[in-house]
């Protein structure tokens, strides 16, 4: 046994001994090995669950990272494919993302370490792109940033064979489903039904005369949107002269529109749509709105985070589901979350399609419906109105469950069961320690 009197006889040794003891935690951090425990708290499995580790979290585990490589393995030594995302375009990654399958109430332990990990031949499972038309009938390379002025017109295909942007604006997809947004005065979101895991958004719409509204070996455009909010388009509900008025994010008053790519796979794709000078109505100052959209492998939804600045007091953010062919809407409450959905023979292929908006916190969210009558404004839409705080992101997910993509969407009970689990998982996130 090491006795105190022995240390008194060797003061130099005691000093060195104490320094070594005090240094051990620091040295361990600098060596960069740490355990990360991730738990699924719910009685639902989570397939291809997105796990995000922030730089701040990793540095709490490993100490300052700088430009060091980072790798992750399961406790059994299986390497994990990581994606490093620079969210603020400063040249340094801010988040590490990966996909993992979690069993019911499972806790998985990973080993986080400095150093380059295993080399992967990664399969691309998520993609975003914006491409402008060249002088001929071709399109340029994907752009990191693009913009259009206020009043950008939609394409008149009776006069032009191809639009100024591939598929009329930014498109994003994963190995299950795809979406697009018209980068013009319509500013509406649409859905690509997919039957292949291959990324298709760089080829669909690139050739004149090839109709993507007809079923083909990759899928098709499956949604008609009309004057609705389509597949999760945006509006604000604002008090005007004492009356709540629904104002679509679109038209000339929307102002200029800016596209910004943030991350492009292989696991997760992220982009932002900026609307810096949205003039809601006369007498109100312009509103600035940014929507950050992300999609990752294995899921039938995209996730939206909307931040509004200078919104009028009492305004609500509204999104919705097109209601041109559905007979009724349904609601689901699971945990703290909720979902609004439809299921009907409502695809452009005249077969079963489930559509849904889900929110992780149902408090003060109001589900409603706009008129189906002809006229101006937002029509034929089931709506979800969410509380809005200036400069604070509001989050939702938009789901598309097409029968051709998966047999689980063949019936309303099948889609409803899927959506109930999804909503519960959305509301009850992973626990990461």
Mean pLDDT calculated for residue range 75-104 = 97
Sign of CA dihedral 112, 85, 127, 340: positive
Distance CA 389, CA 385 (A): 13
Residue 128 has pLDDT above 80, yes or no: yes
Strands lying side by side in the sheet with 70-74: 70-74, 107-114, 33-39, 431-432
pLDDT band at 20 (very low <50, low <70, confident <90, very high): very low
Q: What is the pLDDT of residue 7?
A: 38
| Distance from chain centroid for Cα 41 | 22
Residue 104 has pLDDT above 60, yes or no: yes
pTM of the model: 0.92
**Residue 329, number of CB atoms within 10 A of its CB:** 20
Cα angle 303, 39, 175 (rounded to 5 degrees) comes to 35
Q: What is the pLDDT of residue 297?
A: 99
Residue span(s) of the chain under CATH 2.70.98 come to: 126-432
Q: What is the pLDDT of residue 131?
A: 99
351-392 pLDDT, tens per residue? 999 999 999 999 999 999 999 877 789 999 999 999 999 999
312-360 pLDDT, tens per residue? 999 999 999 999 999 899 999 999 999 999 999 999 999 999 999 999 9
β-bridge pairing 353-359 and 366-369? unpaired
Residue 28 has pLDDT above 90, yes or no: no
Residue 414 has pLDDT above 90, yes or no: yes
Looking at the domain 29-114, which fold is it? Answer: Immunoglobulin-like (2.60.40)
CB 257, CB 182: distance < 8 Å: no
Of 39-48, 116-125, 260-269, where does mean pLDDT reach its minimum? Answer: 116-125
Sign of CA dihedral 315, 318, 323, 327: negative
Q: Which two tokens stand for residue 403?
A: 């029968």
In this structure, whether the domain defined by 126-432 belongs to CATH 3.40.50 is answered with no
Residue 10 has pLDDT above 80, yes or no: no
Residue 4 has pLDDT above 80, yes or no: no
ω before 266 within 30° of 0 (cis)? yes
150-209 pLDDT, tens per residue? 999 999 999 999 999 999 999 999 999 999 999 999 999 999 999 999 999 999 999 998
pLDDT band at 253 (very low <50, low <70, confident <90, very high): very high
- Higher-confidence residue: 125 or 65? 125
- Among 178, 190, 193, 172, smallest CA distance to 405 is for 193
HEC readout, the chain: CCCHHHHHHCHHHHHHHHHHHHHHHHHHHHHCEEEEEEECCCCCCEEEEEEEEEHHHHHHHHCCCCCCCEEEEECCCCECCCEEECCCCCCCCCEEEEEEEECCCCEEEEEEEECCCCCCCCCCCEEEECCEECCCCCECCCCCEEEECCCCCCCCCCCCCCCCEHHHCCEEEECCEEEEECCCCCCCEEEEEECCCCCCCCCCCCCCCCCCCCCCCCEEECCCCCCCCCEEEEEEEEEECCEEEEEECCCHHHCCEEEEEEEECCCEEEEEEEEEEECCCCCCCCEEEEEEEEEECCCCEEEEEEEEECCCCCCEEEEEEECCCCCCCEEEEECCEEEEEEEECCCCCCCCEEEEEEECCCCCCEEEECCCCCCCCCCCEEEEEEECCCCCCEEEEEEEEECCCCHHHCCHHHHHHHHHHHHHHHHCCCEEC
Residue span(s) of the chain under CATH 2.60.40.1180 come to: 29-114
Residue 27 has pLDDT above 60, yes or no: no
Q: Residue 270 — left, alpha, or beta (φ > 0 → left; ψ -120 to 50 → alpha)?
A: beta
Q: Count how many Cα atoms sit within 13 Å of the Cα of residue 367 in the half-sphere of its side chain.
A: 18
138-160 pLDDT, tens per residue? 999 999 999 999 999 999 999 99
Q: What percentage of the chain carries pLDDT values higher than 70? A: 93
CB 362, CB 426: distance < 8 Å: no
Residue with tokens 């312009």: 286
Residue 57 has pLDDT above 50, yes or no: yes
| Distance from chain centroid for Cα 406 | 21
pLDDT band at 30 (very low <50, low <70, confident <90, very high): low
β-bridge pairing 316-322 and 330-334? unpaired
Residue with tokens 């080399």: 119
- Higher-confidence residue: 59 or 13? 59
Q: What is the pLDDT of residue 119?
A: 87
Q: What is the mean pLDDT of the chain?
A: 93
Q: What is the dihedral of CA 105, 109, 115, 121, to 10 degrees?
A: -50
């Amino acid at each position: 046994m090491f006795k105190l009197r022995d240390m008194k006889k060797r003061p130099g040794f005691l000093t060195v001994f104490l320094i070594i003891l005090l240094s051990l935690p620091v040295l361990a951090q600098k060596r960069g090995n740490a355990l990360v425990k991730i738990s699924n708290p719910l009685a639902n499995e989570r397939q291809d669950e997105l796990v995000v580790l922030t730089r701040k979290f990793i540095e709490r585990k490993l100490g300052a990272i700088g430009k060091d490589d980072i790798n992750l393995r399961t406790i059994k030594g299986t390497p994990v494919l990581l994606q490093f995302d620079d969210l603020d375009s400063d040249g340094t990654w801010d988040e590490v993302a990966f996909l993992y399958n979690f069993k019911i109430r499972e806790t998985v332990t990973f080993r986080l370490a400095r150093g380059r990990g295993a080399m992967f031949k990664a399969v691309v499972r998520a993609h975003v792109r914006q491409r402008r038309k060249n002088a001929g009938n071709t399109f340029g390379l994907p752009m990191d940033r693009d913009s259009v002025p206020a009043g950008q017109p939609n394409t008149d295909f009776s006069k032009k064979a191809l639009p100024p942007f591939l598929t009329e604006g930014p498109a994003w997809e994963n190995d299950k489903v795809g979406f697009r947004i018209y980068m013009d005065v319509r500013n509406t979101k649409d859905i690509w039904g997919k039957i292949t895991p291959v990324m298709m958004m760089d080829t669909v719409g690139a050739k004149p005369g090839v109709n993507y509204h007809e079923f083909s070996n990759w899928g098709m455009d499956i949604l008609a949107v009309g004057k609705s909010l389509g597949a999760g388009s945006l509006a604000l509900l604002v008090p005007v002269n004492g009356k709540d008025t629904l104002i679509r994010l679109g038209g000339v008053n929307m102002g200029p529109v800016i596209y910004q790519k943030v991350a492009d796979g292989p696991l997760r794709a992220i982009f932002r749509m900026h609307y810096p000078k949205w003039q809601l109505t006369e007498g109100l100052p312009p509103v600035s709105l940014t929507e950050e959209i992300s999609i990752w492998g294995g899921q039938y939804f995209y996730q939206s985070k909307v931040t509004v600045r200078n919104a009028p007091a009492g305004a609500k953010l509204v999104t919705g589901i097109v209601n041109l062919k559905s007979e009724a809407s349904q609601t689901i409450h699971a945990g703290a979350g909720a979902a609004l959905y439809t299921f009907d023979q409502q695809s452009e292929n005249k077969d079963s399609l489930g559509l849904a908006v889900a929110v992780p916190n149902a408090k003060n969210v109001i589900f409603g419906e706009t008129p189906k009558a002809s006229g101006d404004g937002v029509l034929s839409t089931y709506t979800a109105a969410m509380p809005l705080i200036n400069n604070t992101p509001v989050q939702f997910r938009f789901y598309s469950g097409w029968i051709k993509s998966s047999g689980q969407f063949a019936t309303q009970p099948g889609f409803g069961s899927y959506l109930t689990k999804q909503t519960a998982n959305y509301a009850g996130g992973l626990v990461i320690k």
